[in-house]
Amino acid sequence: MGEILAAGITHYPPLAGADESMSWILKRMLQNPHLPEKFRRVENWPDAMRAEWGNDEGTSAAGKHRERLRQSLRKARAQIDEFRPDFIVVWGDDQYENFREDVVPPYCIYAHESFEFAPPAHNVWHDPADKKFHIPGDVTAAKYLAGGLIEAGFDTAYSYKPLHHPLGHAFANAVLYLDYDRKGFPYPIIPFAINCYGRKVIAQRGGLPMFENPPSEAQLDPPAPTPRRLFDLGAATARIFAKSPWRVALIASSGWSHAFLTEKNHFLYPDTPADRTLFDALRAGNYDAWRNYPASSVEASGQQEILNWMCLAGALSELHRKPAETEFIDTWIFNSSKCFLMAPPPR
């Protein structure tokens, strides 16, 4: 019988850059021509947001934010090393990277022999732009999972090679951040791409709002898979691997509410209260709250990427396992709430 480690981490892109640039998304959102005039002035921001911004546009706060993220990532890596998985399945989103106008699957398993990707530009490790990281895949296990899901009623897409991009940042950053201290990363990965961005994956290129020429209602895309469907997909994934001969780490890679997706907050800061509600339910093992979470609430709170964690919540429910360790890292100025979770198998 298989053994499963369940975990959740962030792939927050600005973590790969310098502290001085960590608040760049907020600075971009302040250029919104439709932003109410009062929010252009720092003195009108919420007190906690002003405090985080400080007198250096968030640089000092960025160092503290980075250190909290690094500590949680190191804990996650230590758990993975202790568990010694045969491979890692990563649920992550594709933001108009590998999947574009030619095809947008609801979810897709990468049955690739290996993955090659470059580090982000101007990265904190000073890796040169021409450096390449090489990570093995596991074709046998990926096909086993795809076959099991299809037999279980999930019509799962799969691929044997990249389409437009070698590896989206949800997956590449998961590897880079779990190896933040550059010890090496010996584990094969199976990326499991989830269409989190749904109605905005093509219309908004899976990225920041297009303030100058926003997409009309008619230009928006079909929605992402529902929370319920992805919860059940995660449960089925855990069930399939529990019957396998492997030691498997199942990891959700994403931030939670994103400021640049949260229109009700003028795209300035995330919906932290909505994230806290889900976090408390997850920590308590109240998985029904996750499975029954409305898709409309996901969009209203800018929580599109939390759909990766819907798969994780479903896996935890199937395993009848509560998290052993959780961390909620909130922010007003660094775009997204970040959460971490570790749920190792019982000893």
pLDDT at 1 over 90: no
* Overall number of domains in the chain: 1
With residues binned 3-state (H G I as helix, E B as strand, rest as coil), the percentages for the chain, rounded to 5, are 40, 15, 45
Task: Using a pLDDT cut of 90, give the percent of the chain over it.
Answer: 97
pLDDT at 50 over 90: yes
pLDDT at 207 over 90: no
HSE-CB for 269 with a 13 A CA cutoff: 16
| 3-class DSSP assignment, residue 29 | helix
pLDDT at 254 over 90: yes
Return the pLDDT at 347.
82
Residue with tokens 């898709």: 295
Mean pLDDT of the chain: 97
Q: Considering only CA atoms, which of 91, 184, 188 is closest in space to residue 135?
A: 188
86 in Cβ contact with 3 (< 8 Å): no
CA 332 from centre of chain: 18
Token pair of 148 as six digits: 């099991």
Return the pLDDT at 87.
98
Burial class (CB in 10 A: 0-12, 13-18, 19+), 247: middle
Return the pLDDT at 2.
93
Q: Considering only CA atoms, which of 180, 197, 172 is closest in space to residue 110?
A: 172
243 in Cβ contact with 260 (< 8 Å): no
- Taking only the tens place, the pLDDT of each residue in 287-341 is 999 999 999 999 999 999 999 999 999 999 999 999 999 999 999 999 999 999 9
Token pair of 59 as six digits: 């640089």
Strand bridging mode 247-253 / 87-93? parallel
Token pair of 29 as six digits: 């959102």
- Taking only the tens place, the pLDDT of each residue in 233-248 is 999 999 999 999 999 9
88 in Cβ contact with 190 (< 8 Å): yes
Domain at 22, CATH number: 3.40.830.10
- Name the pLDDT band for 212 (thresholds 50, 70, 90): confident
Angstrom distance (rounded) from CA 306 to CA 285: 16
Owning domain of residue 80: 3-343
Return the pLDDT at 101.
97
Q: Considering just the CA atoms, what is the radius of gyration of the chain in Å?
A: 19
Angstrom distance (rounded) from CA 189 to CA 113: 10
pLDDT at 30 over 90: yes
- Taking only the tens place, the pLDDT of each residue in 119-148 is 999 999 999 989 999 999 999 999 999 999
Angstrom distance (rounded) from CA 301 to CA 21: 25
Return the pLDDT at 110.
98
CB atoms within 10 A of CB 285: 16
Token pair of 211 as six digits: 């303030």
Return the pLDDT at 158.
98
Beta strands in 151-268 (DSSP E): 157-159, 189-194, 247-253
CB atoms within 10 A of CB 100: 16
Return the pLDDT at 213.
87
pLDDT at 193 over 90: yes
- Name the pLDDT band for 26 (thresholds 50, 70, 90): very high
